[in-house]
């Protein structure tokens, strides 16, 4: 019985190493900061943090449409939220990588991908940060279904593109 338990533990350790080749601590620390950030926003404002709403609030600066005007009272902190997200990624990249941004994905594909993500956030009534971090964290059934849908769609799309020979 002891050898079976040891074998299971060895398999678990090997799979963790395969999933996190650079160690798990950076992901745990990142998750802690994300959790603290959304908790702080919620406690300070009573508003659930999400990136797609941040875009809509930004549009309230240039549009008088009622869809965007409802965000006027919270748009300033949302801009800080968006800028801090980008700044945090840039600081991490400068400190721990060989530059701010490295990708093999072409600019056209990034643009089309961004448009598709934008459409998806409207259809899904929120983004992965709103549903995935805040919604799942608060045990929202809608968010749980949304996150499962996001993940399944991403996995199926990636597999289809890989099978079709599409590369970055």
Sequential pLDDT tens for the chain (168 residues): 545 555 556 555 567 777 788 788 888 888 888 888 888 888 888 877 777 777 777 778 888 887 777 778 877 887 888 888 888 888 888 887 777 677 788 889 888 988 888 788 878 778 877 888 888 888 889 889 988 988 898 899 889 988 998 876
Residue 127: both structure tokens together: 């983004």
Q: What is the pLDDT of residue 152?
A: 92
How far is Cα 165 from Cα 162, in angstroms, rounded to an integer? 5
Q: Would residue 110 count as lying in a domain?
A: yes
**Is residue 148, in this structure, part of any structural domain at all?**
yes
123 belongs to a structural domain? yes
Give me the domain span that covers residue 133.
103-168
- Structural domain count of the chain: 1
Could you tell me if 167 and 83 are in contact, meaning their C-beta atoms sit under 8 angstroms apart? no
> Does pTM top 0.95 for this prediction?
no
Flag whether 42 is in a domain.
no
20 within a domain of the structure (yes/no) = no
Inside any domain, residue 167: yes
Residue 59 lies in a domain: no
Q: 130, 51 in Cβ contact below 8 A?
A: yes
Q: Is residue 136 part of a domain?
A: yes
């Amino acid at each position: 019985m002891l050898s079976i338990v040891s074998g299971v533990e060895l398999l678990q350790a090997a799979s963790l190493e395969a999933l996190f080749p650079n160690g798990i601590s950076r992901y745990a620390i990142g998750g802690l900061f994300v959790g603290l950030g959304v908790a702080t926003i919620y406690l300070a404002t009573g508003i659930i943090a999400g990136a797609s709403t941040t875009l809509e609030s930004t549009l309230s600066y240039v549009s008088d449409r009622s869809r965007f005007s409802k965000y006027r009272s919270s748009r300033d902190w949302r801009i800080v939220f968006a800028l801090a997200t980008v700044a945090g990624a840039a600081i991490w990249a400068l400190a721990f990588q060989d530059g701010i941004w490295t990708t093999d994905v072409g600019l056209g594909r990034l643009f089309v991908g961004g448009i598709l993500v934008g459409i998806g956030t409207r259809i899904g009534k929120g983004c992965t940060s709103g549903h995935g971090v805040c919604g799942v964290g608060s045990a929202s059934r809608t968010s749980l279904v949304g996150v499962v849908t996001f993940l399944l769609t991403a996995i199926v799309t990636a597999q289809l593109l890989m099978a079709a020979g599409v590369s970055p």
